[in-house]
Structure 1
Amino acid sequence: MHETNQKLKMSLYAALMAGITAILAQLTIPLPLVPITGQTLAIGLCATILGRRYGTLAVMIYVAMGAIGLPVFSEAKGGFMVLIGPTGGYIVGFIIAAYVTGLILEKTSFTLLPAVVANIAGMVITLVFGAVQLKFIASLSWEQAMSGGVIPFLLVGVIKAILAAILGVTIRRRLMSAKLLPKEETRAA
């Protein structure tokens, strides 16, 4: 019974983090090809706070909400067409980024330096997925896809990765000390 309650609690945390991701996605700085948003910060928070399994679940819930048409993506967009459009690769990349970020933290530790490294790895994954889809959907050269879909986001991405690491580790520690976040559930294989 205890294990079932813990899984339910963690699933609810994942749903809550999906909602937080939807809110942070609305913080947008428009750029010509792809806007800078709070989504990537939220993805890092999901993985850093909840770990690989439930952090990825949170992101999958978020992507599913957007795919069915809820206006949760940046600029209150939603629908399957966003996922197959020029910026859809970034959104799909969020799922892999959350998984890898959480995995790195589970294999090392949920402390600041590994969290920064893990979140930067997640940022790189997101940018790679985004650039690849941007290149093909927008019929761009690799140089254009990199200059419009990766390079403008590197500095901001590193800043958001560091912020996600600091906030995520702090929130995770506080949730664990309050016995609201079970250590064994987020570190399970």
Structure 2
Amino acid sequence: MDVSLKPIVYSALFIALISIGALIAIPVGPVPIVLQNMFVLLAGLILPPAWAAGCVAVYLLMGFAGLPVFAGGTSGIGKVVGPTGGYLLSYLPAAFLTSVISGRTKNSLIRDSVATITGMAVIYLFGVPWLKWVLAISWSKALAAGMYPFLAGAVVKMIAAVIIARKLRPLIRL
């Protein structure tokens, strides 16, 4: 494979994985449990920063354009103004920062762990205030609906992303 095509192919793969990760959605309130955030973090661990953010941008544009790639097979620009809009928009800086912090080529467990923790924190830092604002609820209700029920799963997703990235990096040369 031509070296210049590799980032494009891997980015397309991550767009597909993020999309598939969103299709399996378990509703637990205004914010469902999905795997798309794990794949956003994994893209950040594997791809260079611009490519990680770029594949997330393409994913978001696909969903805003009407392709059913958001949680539960939904789509549309209206998702931005809904309760999960902050989470969706957070994926861009989360993927970028995860990539920058991980350094991708170092394969350092500590760097990867800090990168995924930072990426997940960005997702909640965008998502919870957005949820509070859109639903006009208190901070305690926003945290109870948009973060607390997801923390254990977030830890599992971060661990899985780090393990997968550490196994894949030696096989992927960008």
The 3-state SS of whatever aligns with 1:70 is coil
Name the structure 2 match of 1:91: 88
For structure 1, the residue ranges without an aligned partner over 5 or more in a row are: 176-180, 183-189
Q: Choose the corresponding residue for 2:54, options 46, 54, 57.
A: 57
Name the structure 1 match of 2:141: 144
CA distance in 1, matches of 2:132, 2:169: 37
Amino acid of the residue matched to residue 31 of structure 1? V
Pairing of 1:28-177 with structure 2 (within 5 A): 28-106=25-103, 109-175=106-172
Give the stretch that moved more between structures: 33-42 or 98-107: 98-107
Paired residues in the alignment total 173
- Kindly report the root-mean-square deviation, in angstroms, between the aligned alpha carbons of the 2 structures: 1.6
CA distance in 1, matches of 2:141, 2:168: 38
Name the structure 1 match of 2:8: 11
Amino acid of the residue matched to residue 53 of structure 1? A
Asked whether the 8 Å contact 1:98–1:122 carries over to 2, the reply is yes
Asked whether the 8 Å contact 1:27–1:38 carries over to 2, the reply is yes
Amino acid of the residue matched to residue 124 of structure 2? L
1:111-156 Cα deviation digits (max 9, x unpaired):
3232122111111110111101101111111111111111111111
CA distance in 2, matches of 1:141, 1:154: 19
The runs of 4+ residues in structure 1 deviating greater than 4 Å are none
Shift of 1:109: 2.9
1:35-84 Cα deviation digits (max 9, x unpaired):
11011111011111113121111111111111111000110011100122
Over the matched positions of the two proteins, sequence identity in percent amounts to: 35
Q: Choose the corresponding residue for 2:17, options 5, 20, 35.
A: 20
CA distance in 1, matches of 2:80, 2:169: 30
Q: TM-score, normalised by structure 2?
A: 0.93
CA distance in 2, matches of 1:10, 1:107: 13
Asked whether the 8 Å contact 1:135–1:145 carries over to 2, the reply is yes
CA distance in 2, matches of 1:115, 1:107: 8
The 3-state SS of whatever aligns with 2:23 is coil
CA distance in 1, matches of 2:77, 2:109: 36
